[in-house]
Amino acid sequence: MHGEGETLARHEKILTDLAFGMGIVVEETYREIVSGESIAARPEMLRLLDDIENDKWDGVLVVEIERLARGDSRDQGLLLETFKYHNVKIITPLKTYDPNDEFDEEYAEFGLFMSRREYKTIKRRLVNGKKAAAKEGKFVGALVPYGYEKIKLDSDKGYSLRPVPREAEVVRSIFEMYTRGTVETKGRPVGMQSIATILNDLHIPPQKSDRWAPSTIRGIITNCVYAGKIQYGRRSLGKSVHNGVVTKTYPVNKDYPIYNGIHQPLIDPETWLLSQKIFADRTCVPNFRKYELQNPFASLLRCGECRRSMTRRPLKSGTNRAWIICKTHGCPTVGADLDDVEKRIIDSLAQWLHDYKLELSCTETFTGISPALLTNALSEKQRQADDLKKQLDHVYQLLETDVYSIEVFRERSGTLTDQLNGVKLDLEDLEGQLKKQADREKRRALLIPKFEGLLDHYWELSAGEKNDLLSEVVERIEYFKSSRGTKRTVPDFTLKIYPRL
């Protein structure tokens, strides 16, 4: 839509012509439009570096060296070291860089530094432009609030919002129910859960999901855009490093600027102020340090009908008994005793681990291939691939010295390329078999001891410790039960457990 595909195609044409002119055989093309701040946000770049580490390439063609990375010094260092230690050249239309050459290395480092500086300059201009647009009352957000649609301004740059009549009426009703009450609420103000229930009963579709939730109502109640305002910088990017991994967070700022918008408000200032006062009075901030986690399956156990997380509900104060229930309004799922659910899950995991060990041993006994045999076959196929590449290089040399005509060159190079592609398929198959064996060994070395440690000490742990260990070995657990029973009946719920393989 914005021309990125055309730029990509133009660059690919330039590199194809360059490869043909230099007699280079291009075996893989990495196409990526993503303009990520770091290498981690660029999947094709990660795939390229992984292939370089596996010694697949002798060189990489790129339009200009600045296109390789615009990340920080860590990313640039990782990129150059990967090319250097695996002796991979960087080939551009202007120059071929050898990372093991001191002067080429310095020139490449300078090019990447200037690329990073250019990226920061562009980013700073974009941020300043968004701030200026917000001050002018224009809409600069990525997600359009419910009740509005995004429109392009006719006589000015930028965008604004225009009410969608049907959704705007729903927004007004939400604020009215929350502040003063309506016929649906019998004339009294109600909370967010009740508003969500009323909207679901009326079959009014929300913006994204299929049902209204209290969190959605909360987002509408606290969004000042409905009062004709524009907020900017409510969430700011925060970065932290844990064990060498950069983690990004987007915390809510306490003091963020609010400007008068040029769009039409959906509610009057009096209703907005009243809703914020009610919200502040009703909101209580829980002291999480005071309470310990009581549900060992928090964020793991999900309702099989609505896919929402199941909740622990104590039966009586002073007892340890509790039930697992689904709090989604209108969901037909029936709760069950937490002790029964917990025992069933642990017994099922123990049985699964027994069967899994048996499956691994049978796979090794009957279908396993010697790793040494696979390695030798892989080496032989790699040797064949190297010979075919040399023959292709020789064919190019014969073409350049006019020994081969164009027709002979095309016929000969086509035959060698077909043979090379066949060898590549064999190499991929052998590498896949080796990877499967390595994965099986890894699972045995990591997954099975985690399961055994969990099952051996599970009943001695606290709920929080149980949840931490379960999260390492289980992806999720789905719970199904639609009929009510009595205390004397055998628990009749069904569980689907998804281990982290």
Alpha carbon distance 204, 212 (integer Å): 9
C-beta atoms surrounding 212 within 10 Å: 26
The pLDDT value given to residue 425: 85
The pLDDT value given to residue 366: 41
Question: Angle at Cα 126 formed by Cα 123 and Cα 127, nearest 5°?
Answer: 85
The reported pTM is: 0.55
The pLDDT value given to residue 367: 45
- Cβ atoms of residues 295 and 311 within 8 Å: yes
The pLDDT value given to residue 365: 45
Q: Over the chain (501 residues), what is each successive 10-residue block's mean pLDDT? A: 70 88 88 71 85 90 80 76 89 88 83 79 88 91 91 89 94 92 82 89 86 90 93 76 64 82 93 91 57 85 89 77 85 89 93 83 55 76 85 79 77 83 83 75 73 88 89 90 68 87 71
How buried is 250 (Cβ within 10 angstroms: 0-12 exposed, 13-18 middle, 19+ buried)?
A: exposed
Residue 364: closest CA among 430, 435, 433, 440: 440
For 230, what's the count of Cα atoms within 13 Å in the CB-facing half-sphere?
Answer: 24
- Cβ atoms of residues 175 and 267 within 8 Å: yes
